[in-house]
Structure 1
Amino acid sequence: MPDRMARAECAVIATALGPVEVALAEQGPPVLALHGGMGGFDQGLILAEAVLGGASAGRGAFRVVAPSRPGYLGTPLGAHLRPEAQADLHAALLDRLGLGPAVVIAVSAGGPSALAFARRHPGRCAGLVLVSTCTGRLDVPARVRARLPMLRAMSRVPGLLPLMAWLTARQPERAARASILDPEECRRTLADPEAGPLLRALQESVLRKAAARLPGTANDVAVFAGLPEHPQGPMGVPVLAVHGTGDRVVPFAHAERLKAADPSVELMAVPGGEHVCLLTHMAQMRERVRAFLARLPLA
């Protein structure tokens, strides 16, 4: 089990805009970790572990705030359909926790609400770290969309998804090859003492409580298809965007368009990197993130 998952405290917190399920880990400057599709607070903790590692930028630990976004696990979808409404809910959560400006780290489908948070609540956002994120209109690939009704049907069969999770744990390389095409890179990532356990935890988490992850995922797919293609700019806060040029889920063009809209955005292009480049190229990403965080005026 990844370190932050083992140390985290999880609860459903009542905010001014509604209940939010959130995991909290460690102390220090706050980091809001926003998960992607088929995610939840558990994947937010995996994201934080992958991006931050241990003591980032020599600052020691961070106060990781990993919510389940609306429609995921214990956070109801309610009226929080669009990124702007989700961003306001993120701000309400930080208010309820009494936390000051936070660094926001987002992956994949967490991108739109992270961007909206920075625009709508700039005084609450110390900076953005975007990893393989959607930044505008996204037509989800057919092979990815096809998994949703399949998972919905599988969730209705008692014991089937726990069995699938068990098989995934027993055959991690077979599961990982769906996300990492290169066999050698797949084996190297799974063998890494830090990236390997995180990748396995990520793979297994999708199949745990899958039915409770589907409403948020389906909402993301529907809403993202109607977003403007090009992001607004400039952002108004420091931004580091990490994106693989070989991403088959969220094309690299999403990072390029963000950079075009705001030339101040730092872009770390990962040559040939896929959607899980945060794990396949974790050491390089962490080094760039440490340098980025070192320049932020964190409390």
Structure 2
Amino acid sequence: MRDPILRTAGPTVVTTALGPVEVVEAGEGRPVLALHGGMGGFDQGLILAAAVLGGPPAAGVRVLAPSRPGYLGTPLGVRRTPEAQADLYAALLDRLGLGPVLVTAVSAGGPSALAFARRHPGRCAGLVLVSACTARLDVPARVRARLPMLKAMSRVPGLLPLMGWLAARQPEKAARASILDAAECRRTLADPEAGPLMRALQESVLHRAAARLPGTANDVAVFAALPAQPEGPVGVPVLAVHGTGDRVVPFAHAERLMAADPSVELMEVAGGEHVCLFTHMDAMRARVRAFLGRLDG
């Protein structure tokens, strides 16, 4: 990986009371637990935290980016449900001697982030959800179809690294899968901050892809069995950022969370897709800063 974001720190495996967790830390200040989405890992946690908060990392922020169970260096084991993963995060904080943390979660990081806030409210100072799954999610067929294909391709030596190299040389072609509007795609990739972050995320997916597949497959299976509606009040301050044009996690996930907990603050990104954290990064960061200001007030 050539992006400097991923060279801010090296991952370590922390042995907790509930099992090992691979985690990377970057920066100093307010502790932030950054939870990645599907086909992710600690590396994407850093990238996504930089997109949401600024950086890498933002001034006055200590980012803790774990690989969720089944991703990279964190074994899946019995930590399959959002609740079990939430308890693992709390065990990680215990091991690191940390008190309350801000939690940022993107996409498939949403269910375990919400479970963490509900099960360990004293450990969660606030929650920022971006394009996040909040209840039952039937993953689109086009997305599900990629998993067995990637698994088969991972068995061919050198194939996925070659595809990653090609994607790095043709970033707009790769990005158009996530940003349908060609002009918006070019504008995002040309942005001096959003562009490098999005390219780094795209390249990371094919780096060690086989080690990202068990967690992704588990997410797909577990999310399909979640309740159709969120459980109720989250119990901590929540900011939800979601695009109305999200084709991966529909905007209804944010609406249902607000219906279950009217105290949830919503940033509705008109027409925004699943990667609205890149296409609308400046507006999102401004809203996040205002949210954090209210937490500190």
Given the two structures, how large is their TM-score scaled by the length of structure 1?
0.97
The Cα offsets for residues 210-263 of structure 1, whole Å up to 9 and x where unpaired, read as 000000000000000000011012111000000000000000000000001111
1-side partners of 2:137 and 2:163: how far apart?
29
| Alignment map for 1:50-89 (pairs within 5 Å) | 50-54=51-55, 60-89=59-88
2-side partners of 1:111 and 1:99: how far apart?
21
| Alignment map for 1:38-57 (pairs within 5 Å) | 38-54=39-55
SS in 2 for 1:153: helix
One-letter amino acid of the counterpart of residue 31, structure 1: V
One-letter amino acid of the counterpart of residue 176, structure 1: A
| Structure 1 residue 3, shift from structure 2 partner | 5.3
| Structure 1 residue 2, shift from structure 2 partner | 5.3
2-side partners of 1:55 and 1:25: how far apart?
8
| Structure 1 residue 4, shift from structure 2 partner | 4.3
Could you tell me which residue of structure 1 aligns to residue 231 of structure 2? 232
Confirm or deny: 8 A CA contact 1:242 1:285 kept in the other structure: yes
Question: After TM superposition, which residue ranges in structure 1, 4 or more long, deviate above 6 angstroms?
Answer: none
One-letter amino acid of the counterpart of residue 9, structure 1: G
| Structure 1 residue 99, shift from structure 2 partner | 1.0
One-letter amino acid of the counterpart of residue 211, structure 2: A
Could you tell me which residue of structure 1 aligns to residue 93 of structure 2? 94
Confirm or deny: 8 A CA contact 1:4 1:25 kept in the other structure: no
Could you tell me which residue of structure 2 aligns to residue 8 of structure 1? 9
Could you tell me which residue of structure 1 aligns to residue 178 of structure 2? 179
2-side partners of 1:138 and 1:82: how far apart?
14
Aligned CA distance change for structure 1 residues 260 and 40 (closer, same or farther; 3 Å) = same
Aligned CA distance change for structure 1 residues 10 and 259 (closer, same or farther; 3 Å) = same
Confirm or deny: 8 A CA contact 1:135 1:258 kept in the other structure: yes
1-side partners of 2:178 and 2:285: how far apart?
20
1-side partners of 2:133 and 2:284: how far apart?
18
| Structure 1 residue 8, shift from structure 2 partner | 2.1
Q: Which runs of 5+ in 1 are unaligned?
A: none
1-side partners of 2:176 and 2:56: how far apart?
31
One-letter amino acid of the counterpart of residue 40, structure 1: G
1-side partners of 2:204 and 2:145: how far apart?
19
| Structure 1 residue 5, shift from structure 2 partner | 2.6
Confirm or deny: 8 A CA contact 2:100 2:122 kept in the other structure: yes
State, as a whole percentage, how many aligned pairs show the same letter.
Answer: 80
Confirm or deny: 8 A CA contact 2:242 2:276 kept in the other structure: yes
Confirm or deny: 8 A CA contact 2:27 2:59 kept in the other structure: no
| Alignment map for 1:198-277 (pairs within 5 Å) | 198-277=197-276
Could you tell me which residue of structure 1 aligns to residue 161 of structure 2? 162
Q: Which runs of 5+ in 2 are unaligned?
A: none
CA RMSD of aligned residues (A): 1.4
SS in 2 for 1:9: coil
2-side partners of 1:160 and 1:247: how far apart?
30
Given the two structures, how large is their TM-score scaled by the length of structure 2?
0.97
